[in-house]
Amino acid sequence: MSLIKQGHESTVWSHLPRFYGETPTSLGAANESELLLDDHGDPAQTLERYLQQYGFDASIKAAVERLCHWLQETGILTRNLLPHNLVIIERDSQQEILLVDGLGAPTVPRLLSALPAWRKRYITRRVRRFYKRIDWELSDREYSWEVSQRL
């Protein structure tokens, strides 16, 4: 919100689906956001599916780096970055990864999250864990994700 207020709206939407506000549904109020589509007009592929299909190839690696750089630059907080909550789109002839679930860090106290140095460290930890998770997705998964984090 504060980035948008400061005039950095396009930066915000570079890795998030556009948010259209609250909308009524038969199950109550819902948040409405942009549906990310592929070239065929189908819902775009998640990073999880992509890794299963193509592995961690150079082009997706570069897209992951751009996403992580954007997190550090904007200071936007997320929960753990999980490949099934990241969707891949094609933009300006390259792949970009957008976060569709896990925005914000509700458990973080406001006073802490207001400190730039603390945010930076928090994001560095999320990023490090994200790369570990990608390794795990590509591994034989001998250990569960919970166990492998403690190894």
Cα–Cα distance, 75 to 15 (Å, whole number): 13
At 116, the amino acid letter reads P
Smallest gap from Cβ 131 to ligand ADP, in A, equals 20
Smallest gap from Cβ 151 to ligand ADP, in A, equals 26
Smallest gap from Cβ 121 to Mg ion, in A, equals 25
Residues 6+ apart with CB under 8 A from 83: 46, 47, 48, 51, 133, 134, 137
**Residue 100 touches ligand ADP, criterion: CB under 6 A:** yes
Summarize as ranges the residues that interact with Mg ion (CB under 5 A). Answer: 85, 101
Based on CB atoms, which residue is closest to ligand ADP, 43 or 104? 43
End-to-end CA distance of the chain: 38
Helix residue ranges, H only, 76-141 = 110-113, 116-138
87 contact choice in Mg ion, ligand ADP, none (CB below 5 to 8 Å, kind-dependent): ligand ADP
**Residue 141 touches ligand ADP, criterion: CB under 6 A:** no
Based on CB atoms, which residue is closest to ligand ADP, 78 or 85? 85
Based on CB atoms, which residue is closest to ligand ADP, 17 or 75? 17
**Residue 101 touches ligand ADP, criterion: CB under 6 A:** yes
95 contact choice in ligand ADP, Mg ion, none (CB below 5 to 8 Å, kind-dependent): none
**Residue 91 touches ligand ADP, criterion: CB under 6 A:** no
Based on CB atoms, which residue is closest to Mg ion, 79 or 132? 79
Helix residue ranges, H only, 13-57 = 47-54
Cα atoms in the 13 Å half-sphere on the side-chain side of 75: 13
Report the chain's C-alpha Rg in angstroms. Answer: 16
